[in-house]
Amino acid sequence: MKSAIKKWILGVFIIVLAIAFSTYLYYRSEIDHVLGGNTEIVNTSQFKSISGKLAITNVNILSTDSQTMIPNQTVLVEGKKIIAIHADSIPVTKDFHLIDGRNKYLIPGLIDSHVHLKKSKNDLLLYLVNGITHIGEMTGMDEHFEYQKEIDAGALGPNIYIVSPKVSSQEGMRANFRSWMERRHQNYTTIKAVRKAVHYYKNKGYKAIKLSSDLNKESYYALLDEAKKINIPVIGHLPVPITLDELYTSGQSQLSHVESITYASMLSYGRITSKNADAFLKHLEENVDQIAKQLKKNNITISTTVASNKSVVKQAFHLADYLKTIALEYQNPGWIEGSSISKGWLPGNNSYEYSSNLTEQQKTEVNAYLKTFVQALDIVTKALVQNNVVITAGTDANGAAGAVPGFSLHEELVTLSEIGLTNAQILQATTSATADWMSENTGIIEINYRADLVLLNKNPLENIKHTQNIEAVIANGKYLNRLVLNNILQAVKDANDRSRKINIDAYLK
> In which band, very low, low, confident or very high, does the pLDDT at 2 lie, cut at 50, 70 and 90?
low
CA-CA-CA-CA torsion sign (312, 314, 320, 326)? negative
Q: Residue 175: which pLDDT band, with cuts at 50, 70 and 90?
A: low
In degrees and rounded to multiples of 5, residue 76 shows phi and psi of: -105, 135
Kindly state the percentage of the chain with pLDDT values over 70: 93
CA dihedral in degrees (199, 205, 209, 212; nearest 10)?
Answer: -110
From 5-19, 219-233, 242-256, 470-484, the region with the lowest mean pLDDT: 5-19
Distance of CA 101 to the CA centre of its chain: 31
| pLDDT mean across residues, the chain | 92
Please report the pLDDT score of residue 24 as a whole number: 59
173 pLDDT more than 70: no
Question: What was the pLDDT predicted at 371?
Answer: 93
173-181 and 2-34 helices, crossing angle to 10°: 70
| pLDDT given at position 20 | 62
Mean pLDDT within 418-441: 98
Lowest mean pLDDT among 186-190, 253-257, 290-294: 186-190
In the prediction, which pLDDT does 468 show?
98
The structural domains of the chain, ordered by start, are 110-438 (3.20.20.140)
Quickly state the pLDDT bin for 38 (edges 50, 70, 90): confident
pLDDT for the residue numbered 172 = 64
Would the pLDDT of 102 be above 90? yes
pLDDT at 186 over 90: no
Whether 399 and 116 have beta carbons less than 8 Å apart is answered as yes
| More confident site: 254 or 33 | 254
What pLDDT is attached to residue 135?
Answer: 98
pLDDT tens-digit readout, 51-71 = 999 999 999 999 999 999 999
The least confident of 82-96, 125-139, 274-288, 428-442 is: 82-96
Helix (H) or strand (E) holding 408: helix 407-419
Question: By C-alpha distance, which of 118, 116, 115 is closest to 38?
Answer: 118
What is the reported pLDDT for 15?
Answer: 74
- The pLDDT value recorded for residue 364 is 85
CA distance 49 to 495: 21
Q: Is the pLDDT of residue 85 over 70?
A: yes
Looking at residue 83, its pLDDT comes to 96
Using the predicted structure, report yes or no on whether residue 121 has a pLDDT greater than 70.
yes
Summarised one tens digit per residue, pLDDT across range 217-242 is 999 999 999 999 999 999 999 999 99
Task: For residue 185, name the pLDDT band (cuts at 50, 70, 90).
Answer: confident
CA–CA distance, 259 with 394 (Å, rounded to integer): 12
Instruction: For residue range 359-378, list pLDDT tens digits in order.
Output: 888 888 888 899 999 999 99
The pLDDT assigned to 33 comes to 72
Nearest to 289 by CA among 217, 382, 397: 382
Q: What is the chain's percent helix, strand, coil content, to nearest 5? A: 45, 20, 35
Q: What is the dihedral of CA 437, 438, 439, 440, to 10 degrees?
A: -130
The full 3-state SS of 82-138, as one line of letters, equals: EEEEEECCCCCCCCCEEEECCCCEEEECEEEEEECCCCCCCHHHHHHHCCEEEEEEC
Residue 488: per-residue pLDDT: 98
| Residue range 260-264: mean pLDDT, rounded | 93
